[in-house]
Structure 1
Amino acid sequence: MNSAGTTMQDFLKGKTILVIGTTGFLAKVFVEKILRIQPKIQKLYLLVRASNTDLASHRLQNEVFQTDLFKVLREKLGEDFNSYIAKKVVAIAGDLGVENLGIKDNNIKNVMFEEIDIIVNSAGNTKFDERFDISMSVNTKGALHVLNFAKNCHKMKVLVHLSTGKYLNQNTSKLSSNEVIFQEKPFEIGESLKGTSKLDIEIEMNLLEKKLDELRALNMDENKIKHALKDYGIERSNLHGWPNTYVFTKAMGEMLLVHYKDNVPLIIIRPAMVTSTSKDPFPGWIEGQRTVDSMICTYGKGKLPCFLGHPKTILDIIPADLVINSVIAAMVINSNQAPKNFIYHVSSSLRNPLKVSDVHKISHQYFMKTPYINKNGKPIVISKGIALKSLSTFNIYVTIRYALPLKVFNLVNNIICHSFQDVYDDNYKKIRMVKKIAKLYKPYVFLKAVFDDTNTENLRRAAKSYNMENEELEFDPTSINWTDYMMNTHIPGLVKYAMK
């Protein structure tokens, strides 16, 4: 039980944390937060994929500390910023896909084993259709390599693994006649989403190696091998019931962690679709386009005359700073113990739902009020567009949109045909590409489900026993006004950072 007056920041005093995946979006938010709220942190080991320490340090400077995210801390410390970073941060060159995280220097490795209190693994390849070998190396094997490293850390208090809430799994129950609720439960080793297939992770790894050998024996060039391995990843994922390579390999990584964790205090955080920071360190910071953002950005540029997704589908999104606040809370409250309930869904769908129709409406309002300026300096005029309620309707619409001349397309713009012959013209490759992307997003924009967050709600209650100064560790999704957040924070953030 927390003693009166103690803050979560107090827990971080004198601690040494290893952060993996440091150049990624969420890890940067975590690192910035720790350095800003607890200057008495002992040390941050930041693992970066690089061949040596100098290159790792260079990547950290260019890709992490020089980003806008650190402007609040930079302004706060002024001329002392660089010396503060140098004092608190140690760049570690490594590779998640290799045993011992690819750390070659045994002296450094042994010092880390002595000093590390906490490990936060935020690494992951998030491309839905990445090469199967790359996704397997990072998302599946990498998770096990982190666990094995944690077992060698003598002061290990907690291992936090950031996973994803984006997969469809068997841990569901009925919420209503049309909706299911995904439970905060771990995957069992070998669990397949299709009863007709048996998932054996070792066999999957062996089949992948065999596939690689076959492709190389055919003397294929690297580009062909890349596409073959992308297709193979989707094929294996679909065989076992997962919609794409990303969620399949992340699920297998979770299985290995849970099965082999032994006495390591393990926390698995499953965030929903992560969006820009809502408040901290400032509103609207984001990197890249994350899931629904691609639709918003393309729509704002006038290149998307429709929204893919059933209007009533709930888009489970959550701002990045709320995710990181939940990570810190879980880290503090579960330190030194192996909690019974260690899966946390950091999501909004159950307590503060946002629908596809809401995002469509708000996006239209924003870009009508503040049009996106094209490269010629002229504002882009957008139309309201239509919402397409099924993938088949979307495919027909896209075929018409790209296959017919614009004048003809405008005449049939609001007519939904029931069949259409693909036109093999110069736009056929574009049609196939758009349809392929739509297929990858289908599980998320037509899914009638919400995510249970009972464990996370209990975590919020437990966190209230700490003095959370200025609500800087708040992670309650009911505090978000979606219209205000989307109009005044998230979409402006996308325009500034992701629509360049």
Structure 2
Amino acid sequence: MATLNSIAQSLKNKSILITGCTGFLAKIFVEKILRVQPQVTRLYLLVRASDAKSAKHRLDKQVISKELFRVLKDMHGDGFDSFLSEKIRAIAGDMAMEDLGIQEFHLKEEIMKEVDIIANVAATTTFDERYDIALDINALGADRVMAFAHRCHKLQMFLHVSTAYVCGSKSGAMLEKPIRMGETPNGQNNLDIEAELRLVKKELKELQARGVEKTEETAAMKELGLKRARSFGWPNSYAFTKAMGEMLIGESKRDMPLVIIRPTIIEATLADPFPGWIEGFRTAGSIIMSYGKGRLKCFPGNVNLPLDVIPADMVVNAMVVSMVAHSRQSASFIYHVGTSKQNPVRTSIIADCAYRYFSRSPLKGKDGKAISVRKPFLYTSMDDFKKYMNFYYNMPLQGLRLANLALFNIYGRLYADLTRKYNFIMYLAELYEPYVFFDGSFDDSNAEGLRMAMKAGGVEEAGLFDFDPKCINWEEYCMKVYYPGLVRYVMMQK
């Protein structure tokens, strides 16, 4: 491990290629680097677009215009736009194509000549994504970025963001170790990625031959992804294809310096650039906001098991520190970035804080009136939760269906609305079951060693790059940071 003296100084005069820059985590990563090291040479930001103009427009709209960048804007004032024009460049490309879809020859040559670090943050994080799309982005896409990296003349580091849940549906302590090609959580160890690709092509060909509608094709490909993932021991197509991505880059890295960051459930920023920034519904946020809206009156989750939530800024800090620490080292390093070992949070705390927060600061319904919430009940097994939902919601719903049929559809709109809400809650429960009932913890010995190296090296900006979960006060985070962030930045309510 390189001596850690000044992390920000190590980024000076560096050029970095970043994929997935329109995503939640990558935005924070981009903002962080520009703020802590304004003398970075350039950030090449790969954007899925047809040309340079479209790429810049998408970057401006989906990244730079976000409130996340307000601190950076305040730092530079009237010079903000000129600073960005000098430091960042939107690159039109596509990870589904060779050479990342970069068509302009001279630009491609420039990147290969100048880039020092590649950070692959691109992913489709939808748990039930179409299998063909998840494979193409999370698995093959990662391999294409590695192939591009081998053509970069002076590359010092390849940083890849994965997920801690590549471990699959297992219990116990999950170690920071590589996944071997073909290795599976259920111990079969017979995963053949090429065979999976052939299966996808075969299924698509058969669907197209039948002339099915696009919606039916999408549903079939989503079902295939979940079926294949669970057959090998992964909870969903996201974790499954991210695991395949790790396998592929592990096989093709050769002597490339490689860091793999495996975060757990990423939620709102703890402190940096300011507390509470979040974008879209993350894993836990969907359940919490459904409760705040009055749709969910109980929480599925075992009170004795930790829910491994990690603030997004801590993940970004770990990304920056690890890529600096292992620059030019021709080996692989894996880091879990989570809280279940050092500072676990129980589902009961999440639920209790949700009740107290939304009781004091209720959300508003479409009619402008405050939505009241009751203290949620925790169901410690999915079977118990399903029994509750069936007795209190599904059975009355079926009664309403029969009444509606008998009374010539006078309750048709009400029945459709309640059915939609019921199906949504059950969909969330099924989707997030592997996470809220995850009976394991993520060992972070490597990450702890990196934190100790920071302290031993006397890093000047240790606080600026802190990713020690022991500093999180969960009650304060939920009540003053996380839930207010969800309301402000996701629900757009003040």
Q: TM-score, normalised by structure 2?
A: 0.93
CA offsets, 1:342-383, max 9 Å, x none?
110001100101011110111111111221222322221100
The answer on whether the counterparts of 1:316 and 1:347 sit within 8 Å (CA) in structure 2 is yes
Q: How far apart are the structure 2 equivalents of 1:379 and 1:430?
A: 19
Aligned counterpart, 1:399: 390
User: What's the CA shift for 1:433?
Assistant: 4.5
The reply to whether residue 217 of structure 1 matches residue 216 of structure 2 is no
Structure 2: segments with no counterpart, 5+ residues: 401-414
User: What's the CA shift for 1:102?
Assistant: 0.9
Aligned counterpart, 1:74: 73
Which residue of 246, 251, 267 corresponds with 2:243?
251
Aligned counterpart, 1:85: 84
In structure 2, relative to structure 1, the CA distance for the partners of 1:46 and 1:373 (3 Å cut) is same
The answer on whether the counterparts of 2:99 and 2:144 sit within 8 Å (CA) in structure 1 is yes
User: What's the CA shift for 1:3?
Assistant: 7.1
Which residue of 357, 362, 369 corresponds with 2:348?
357
- For 1:100, the aligned partner's letter is D
- For 2:265, the aligned partner's letter is M
Aligned counterpart, 1:44: 43
Q: How far apart are the structure 1 equivalents of 2:189 and 2:320?
A: 38
Q: How far apart are the structure 1 equivalents of 2:2 and 2:136?
A: 40
The answer on whether the counterparts of 2:2 and 2:326 sit within 8 Å (CA) in structure 1 is no
Aligned ranges 1:78-477 → 2 under 5 Å = 78-169=77-168, 180-196=172-188, 198-339=190-331, 342-405=333-396, 426=416, 430-464=421-455, 465-469=457-461, 471-477=463-469
CA offsets, 1:313-367, max 9 Å, x none?
2111111111111111101110000235x11000110010101111011111111
In structure 2, relative to structure 1, the CA distance for the partners of 1:356 and 1:52 (3 Å cut) is same
Q: How far apart are the structure 2 equivalents of 1:470 and 1:236?
A: 43
The reply to whether residue 8 of structure 1 matches residue 7 of structure 2 is yes
Q: How far apart are the structure 2 equivalents of 1:21 and 1:197?
A: 30
Report the number of matched residues: 475
- Higher percent of residues as helix: 2
The answer on whether the counterparts of 2:287 and 2:428 sit within 8 Å (CA) in structure 1 is no
Q: How far apart are the structure 1 equivalents of 2:91 and 2:248?
A: 25
Stretch deviating more after TM superposition (234-243 or 374-383)? 374-383
Identity %: 44
- For 1:60, the aligned partner's letter is L
User: What's the CA shift for 1:76?
Assistant: 1.2
**Aligned Cα root-mean-square deviation (Å):** 1.9
Q: How far apart are the structure 1 equivalents of 2:253 and 2:188?
A: 28
The answer on whether the counterparts of 2:255 and 2:331 sit within 8 Å (CA) in structure 1 is no
CA offsets, 1:24-80, max 9 Å, x none?
011000100111111110000000011111111001101111100000010111110
CA offsets, 1:430-476, max 9 Å, x none?
54443333222111111221100000001111222153337111111
CA offsets, 1:137-185, max 9 Å, x none?
1000001001001100111100000001123349x7xxxxxx6110101
Aligned counterpart, 1:417: none
User: What's the CA shift for 1:394?
Assistant: 1.5
Aligned counterpart, 1:480: 472
Q: How far apart are the structure 2 equivalents of 1:435 and 1:370?
A: 26
User: What's the CA shift for 1:390?
Assistant: 1.3
- For 1:246, the aligned partner's letter is Y
Aligned counterpart, 2:24: 25
The answer on whether the counterparts of 1:302 and 1:380 sit within 8 Å (CA) in structure 2 is yes
Structure 1: segments with no counterpart, 5+ residues: 173-178, 410-424
Q: How far apart are the structure 2 equivalents of 1:197 and 1:79?
A: 57
Q: How far apart are the structure 2 equivalents of 1:431 and 1:8?
A: 49
In structure 2, relative to structure 1, the CA distance for the partners of 1:467 and 1:196 (3 Å cut) is closer
In structure 2, relative to structure 1, the CA distance for the partners of 1:280 and 1:195 (3 Å cut) is closer
The answer on whether the counterparts of 2:128 and 2:238 sit within 8 Å (CA) in structure 1 is yes
The reply to whether residue 65 of structure 1 matches residue 56 of structure 2 is no
The answer on whether the counterparts of 1:13 and 1:41 sit within 8 Å (CA) in structure 2 is yes
Q: How far apart are the structure 2 equivalents of 1:73 and 1:90?
A: 17
Aligned counterpart, 1:412: none
In structure 2, relative to structure 1, the CA distance for the partners of 1:195 and 1:165 (3 Å cut) is closer
The answer on whether the counterparts of 2:168 and 2:239 sit within 8 Å (CA) in structure 1 is no
Q: How far apart are the structure 2 equivalents of 1:136 and 1:87?
A: 35
Q: How far apart are the structure 2 equivalents of 1:2 and 1:149?
A: 25
Q: How far apart are the structure 2 equivalents of 1:196 and 1:35?
A: 45
- For 2:144, the aligned partner's letter is H
CA offsets, 1:273-294, max 9 Å, x none?
1111111111110001111111
Q: How far apart are the structure 1 equivalents of 2:9 and 2:465?
A: 13
The answer on whether the counterparts of 1:8 and 1:466 sit within 8 Å (CA) in structure 2 is no
- For 2:367, the aligned partner's letter is N
Q: TM-score, normalised by structure 1?
A: 0.91
Q: How far apart are the structure 1 equivalents of 2:473 and 2:233?
A: 35
The answer on whether the counterparts of 1:169 and 1:182 sit within 8 Å (CA) in structure 2 is no
User: What's the CA shift for 1:385?
Assistant: 2.1
- For 2:322, the aligned partner's letter is A
- For 1:461, the aligned partner's letter is M
The answer on whether the counterparts of 1:2 and 1:466 sit within 8 Å (CA) in structure 2 is no
SS in 2 for 1:167: helix
User: What's the CA shift for 1:405?
Assistant: 4.6
- For 1:217, the aligned partner's letter is A
The answer on whether the counterparts of 1:315 and 1:445 sit within 8 Å (CA) in structure 2 is yes
User: What's the CA shift for 1:208?
Assistant: 0.5
Q: How far apart are the structure 1 equivalents of 2:137 and 2:251?
A: 18
Aligned counterpart, 1:413: none
The answer on whether the counterparts of 1:166 and 1:273 sit within 8 Å (CA) in structure 2 is no
Q: How far apart are the structure 2 equivalents of 1:3 and 1:315?
A: 34
SS in 1 for 2:47: strand
Q: How far apart are the structure 2 equivalents of 1:54 and 1:312?
A: 52
Q: How far apart are the structure 1 equivalents of 2:289 and 2:436?
A: 16
Stretch deviating more after TM superposition (306-315 or 132-141)? 306-315
- For 2:217, the aligned partner's letter is I
Q: How far apart are the structure 1 equivalents of 2:127 and 2:312?
A: 20
The answer on whether the counterparts of 2:7 and 2:461 sit within 8 Å (CA) in structure 1 is no
Q: How far apart are the structure 2 equivalents of 1:298 and 1:401?
A: 17
